[in-house]
Amino acid sequence: MEKDICLTTCVDQQRVARVVQGLPAEPLLLGAAEIFKMLADPNRLRLLHALAQEELCVCDLAELVETSASAVSHQLRLLRTARLVACRREGKMVYYRLDDDHVGRLLREGLRHAEEG
Amino acid sequence: MEKDICLTTCVDQQRVARVVQGLPAEPLLLGAAEIFKMLADPNRLRLLHALAQEELCVCDLAELVETSASAVSHQLRLLRTARLVACRREGKMVYYRLDDDHVGRLLREGLRHAEEG
DNA sequence: ACCTCACCTGAATGATTGTTCAGATGTTTA
DNA sequence: TAAACATCTGAACAATCATTCAGGTGAGGT
């Protein structure tokens, strides 16, 4: 790595140190990246946006994004383990909903930014 | 696809139709997914968080995330084409900053959600 | 003009990710 | 209990992404 060259010339150590101090803790960064990763797919955004409006079952969601129930199930598992959605079984069917409305807020914020860009 | 089976049994067409209506337009969804994709990497989060505090050059940023200037340059290009950061040349060096503070807001919102989850 | 340095780019490799398919689980109804 | 159905899971394949390396650009100093 050419770090040695760079270190002595253009890197402003003070500036870097200052900024490093301000960085969020490692687990926080990883957690946030994980959440954003879940939001980084149009189909998952559709699912989440739909669930922000009302509770839906896997079958409805599959219809919504025009794919197989299996594929949706995989996506939902990801969203579930990331704590973005929660589910509730009613007979044969499983109904999903947003876990809380932080998610909805993030979603809206992202869409708003997309509108303006 | 087993849509035909499913359609006649468990899919609530009305519910799906209602939710489909509420979905954001296609380009908006794609745009938002694109933005979230940029935020879905710990190193890029570090870069953005740092740039939210102050303007930094490529070399500083490489030092910050402990990687090569080339790798950072690639990342910065992604962030630049996604309009999340902007840059300014001063002599040999190029200084980067956040393009606007929507980005900062998204970042904070994501981190806050990570804290609570 | 030349050399050095900060930064950028394109192509290739290696790692992650998404989807599909086949089969498993658990629930209802007959 | 057996059959039908909604959903879940694991493994394999395809696509997508990040990093590296080698070379290229443009600014400054000598």
pLDDT at residue A7 in the model: 52
**Structural domain includes residue A17:** no
Q: pLDDT digits over A54-66, tens only? A: 999 999 999 999 9
Residues 28-57 of B with CB under 8 A from A: 28-37, 39-42, 45-46, 49-50, 53-54, 56-57
Residue A112 CA, chain-centre distance (Å), reads: 16
**Structural domain includes residue A97:** yes
- The encoded tokens of residue A43 equal 């189909």
**Structural domain includes residue B89:** yes
- What is the extent of the structural domain holding B51? 33-116
Q: pLDDT digits over A5-33, tens only? A: 445 578 999 999 999 999 999 999 999 99
**Structural domain includes residue B72:** yes
Instruction: Work out the percent of chain A whose per-residue pLDDT is above 70.
Output: 92
Q: What is the CATH number of the domain that holds B95?
A: 1.10.10.10
Chain C positions with any atom < 7 A from a protein CB? 5-11, 17-23, 26-28
Of the candidates A104, A93, A15, the residue with the CA atom closest to the CA atom of residue B63: A15
**Within an 8 Å CB–CB cutoff, is residue B71 touching chain A?**
no
**Structural domain includes residue A112:** yes
Cβ-contact A75, A33 below 8 angstroms? no
Q: How many domains does chain B have?
A: 1
pLDDT at residue A5 in the model: 46
**Structural domain includes residue B13:** no
Higher pLDDT, A113 or B93: B93
Nearest CA-CA distance, residue B1 and chain A, Å: 7
Q: Which nucleotide is nearest to A9 (CA to C1')?
A: C5
CA atoms within 13 A on the CB side of A97: 9
Q: Is the pLDDT of residue A3 over 80?
A: no
Q: pLDDT digits over B36-65, tens only? A: 999 999 999 999 999 999 999 999 999 999
Instruction: Work out the percent of chain B whose per-residue pLDDT is above 90.
Output: 85
